[in-house]
Structure 1
Amino acid sequence: MDIQTIKERIAVVESKREYLLSLLEQPNLGTLRVDVNQALEEMDDLLDEFRRTFPQTGSN
């Protein structure tokens, strides 16, 4: 897999983060709030690892 493909896939992942944040604003989320928080934490870890691995490329 080349770096451009990885960057494109990371951009897709980043775009989903906003959706997860909007879910946290829903008052009827109930116990799913824990899962959404976990997904956000793991996504942030993935994005941080990508930036550490490819510091010169950023996210785009």
Structure 2
Amino acid sequence: MDLQTIKERIAAVQGKREYLLGLLEKPDLGILRVDVNQALEELDELIDEFERTIPKTDNN
């Protein structure tokens, strides 16, 4: 897998994060709130690790 494909997939994952944040605003989420919070934490860790490994540059 080339770097551009990885960057595209990470961008797609970042888009899903917004959806999860929207779910947290729903009052009837119940016990699933724990799972949504866990998913957000794991996404944030994945994105942070990617950005530490492949830093953004002006030419990327």
TM-score by length of 1: 0.92
CA RMSD of aligned residues (A): 1.6
TM-score by length of 2: 0.92
Q: Which runs of 5 or more residues in structure 2 are unaligned?
A: none
Equivalent residue, structure 1, for 2:27: 27
Q: Which runs of 5 or more residues in structure 1 are unaligned?
A: none
Q: Does 1:12 align with 2:43?
A: no
Identity %: 76
Q: Which stretches of structure 1, 4 residues or longer, exceed 6 Å deviation after superposition?
A: none
